[in-house]
Every structure is written in structure tokens, then in C-alpha cells.
Amino acid sequence: MANAHEILNRIKSIRDTMKITKAMYMVSSMKVQKAKKKLAETLPFFDGLQKQIREVLLHFPEMHHLYFDNRIEDERELVKRKIYIVITGDKGMAGPYNLNVIKAAREKFSEDEDYRIYCVGETGRHVFMAEKLPVSVDFRMSSNNPSIHRARVMCEMLTDKYKNEEVDEIHVIYTRMRNSVTSEVRTEQLLPLRTSRFLSDQVKKAAQGEIVDASEMEIFPSPEDVLETLVRNIITGFLYGAMVESQASEESARMMSMKTATDNADAMLSELSRQYNQFRQAAITQEITEVVGGAKALQKKKAKKKAKAVAEEA
């Protein structure tokens, strides 16, 4: 069993650690709020982009566009060359956040034969490279502090590969916050875009007998060129949103992890304080016993001397 001095050292060490975990909890809490604010500020713009794409597709239903899943060439392909963009954190201490993303990514990889991995975040990169998986060395992005500029750079790189037919499908694996406590790993197909995703509301209205406005529309220079610009913007927005959601999920997981660590440290402090108090009480009791024993011995010695002096006088 540890002595009182060792217990005091452990108490000091745990208190120093608690200062760190509390500070990290506060920092993560602020980052979560910041990420939520960034996402809320950009949602109206990208919702507007989706509405514009929906209107173009509605007015030109016969158009087969490169970036959508309505091309005959895409249906004839038996083996799809895929890119998986996996968004993890750059560091640990975030509970099961990184592990959940990596686990979901492994499940998707097992379903495919021809794929490449594009990692956003160093944790996923290190794990997949250690497992000898096909990680792209030309794609190196941090998951910290996502920005529209970074999303646009990613969009240009990915759409160029897709346009040059170097890849058939692009998927994003990221973490989405359901609420402040829980989150879920999601896999979304980035390219080609699903036409049904944009026209689902119109199909529903048509099924209910509601009138859908499909009047003539003129677009310059052409519907294909306008749609390509809109698609690049919507992909940029989706990548940005996925990175922001992932960062918010990571910081939320880190916040909960730090709270758990602080609570556990507090419980350890209570137990160590109890042990230390027991040592102090035992030491005080021993000192009192020694003082009482010494006083009694002194009294006996005095009594002996007195008895001896009386005997000599007699």
C-alpha cells in the first residue's frame, strides 16, 4: 500500500490533469458552438442552390448530364471505379469518434474491388496506410478549421477526375451530429448526383395531384453549362458541410470524453483523499498513543524515584 507522501503526489498529479481536461472541455464546447454557427450561416445559400438545380432538372427532364445518374453510359458499367473521401480527426482524445468512422469505412471498402481512399484528417491516413490500403498520396487535407476555400480546392480536384473519366463514383464518409450527445457515421454518394434527390418533392406533389410548374424556360449559354456551375457549387457546399459536421461531432465527442475524464479524476481524488485522511488519522493516533505512553512511563519513573527516596529516609 502507498504511503502518505506517495498519495499526496498522486493527488497533485490528478489535480494538474483535471485542469487540462477541464480546459479541453471548455475549448471543445466553444468549437462545437462555432461549427454549428458556421453551418447555420451557410445553409440558406446551399439550399438555394439545390432549388435552382431542381428547377433546371424539372424544366429539362430529357437532359442527360455528366454529373447525374441518368446517363446510359453509367448504367452499362459493371465495375465502378470509386473514390472514398474519409473524414476523420487529426488527433485523438475524442472517444470513439475516429474508431467509428474507420470501422464504417472498412465495411464499405470490403464491398468494392477498385477504389482509392482520399483522407481528410491524419488519423484515418495513418491507420489506412498502416493497413496497406490504397490511400492517395496526392490528397492531403487537414480536418481542422474547415473552410469554403479548402472545400472548393477539393471539389475542383474531384470533379476534374470524374470529368476525365478517371473515376466512376465518388463517396464521402463523414460523421453527422444528431444532437449534442449523439452522432452517426454516414456515407453519401457525391458523384454522380442522384436525380431523385432533387426531384423527390415534385414527384410527391404530382402523385398527390398537385400542379407542378414545368413551363418553358430559357437558359443561357445552355442548361448543361449552367447546371455544371451549379453542381460544382453544390459539391463544394456538401464537402464544406460534411467537414464542418465532422468537426462538430469530433469536438462534441472530445467534450464528452473530457467530461468523463474529469468526473473519473474527481472520483479518484475522493478515494485518495479518504486514504490520505486515514493515514493522517492513524499517524495522529499513533502520536497520541506515544505521548500518552511516554507520559505514563515518566509518571512511573517519578513514582519509583519518590518511593526510593522515602525508603532511604526511613
Q: Report DSSP letters for 237-254, one per residue.
A: HHHHHHHHHHHHHHHHHH
Residues 205 and 272 in one domain: no
Residues 153 and 270 in one domain: no
Which cell is 310 given?
A: 522515602
Alpha-carbon distances, residue 267 vs 15, 261, 272 (angstroms): 12, 10, 9
Q: Where are the alpha helices (DSSP H) in the chain?
A: 4-59, 72-76, 97-109, 122-130, 148-163, 195-207, 223-313
Which cell is 264 given?
A: 473519473
Euclidean distance between CA atoms 119 and 89, whole angstroms:
10
Number of separate domains in the chain: 2
Reported as a single tens digit per residue, the pLDDT across 7-23 is 788 888 888 888 888 88
Q: Burial code of 240-271, b = ≥16 C-beta within 10 A, e = fewer?
A: bbbbbbbbbbbbbbbbbbbbebbeebeeeeee
Task: Classify residue 277: in a domain, yes or no.
Answer: yes
Reported as a single tens digit per residue, the pLDDT across 154-191 is 999 998 888 888 888 899 999 988 776 778 898 988 88
Answer for the pair 244, 146: CB distance below 8 angstroms, yes or no.
yes
Residue 293 has pLDDT above 50, yes or no: yes
> Minimal CA–CA distance to 236: which of 154, 172, 146?
154
Reported as a single tens digit per residue, the pLDDT across 129-150 is 999 999 988 888 888 888 888 9
Euclidean distance between CA atoms 275 and 261, whole angstroms:
21
Q: Give pLDDT, residue 208.
A: 42
Euclidean distance between CA atoms 81 and 169, whole angstroms:
6
Q: What is the CATH number of the domain that holds 35?
A: 3.40.1380.10
Q: Give me the chain's average pLDDT, please.
A: 80
**Which domain, by its residues, includes 269?**
4-14+264-306
Task: Classify residue 312: in a domain, yes or no.
Answer: no
Instruction: Kindly report which listed range (108-117, 190-199, 210-219, 261-270) carries the lowest average pLDDT score.
Output: 210-219
Task: Classify residue 311: in a domain, yes or no.
Answer: no
Task: Classify residue 314: in a domain, yes or no.
Answer: no
Exposed (0-12), middle (13-18) or buried (19+): which is 179, by Cβ within 10 Å?
A: exposed
Residues 252 and 297 in one domain: no
Question: pTM to 2 decimals?
Answer: 0.77
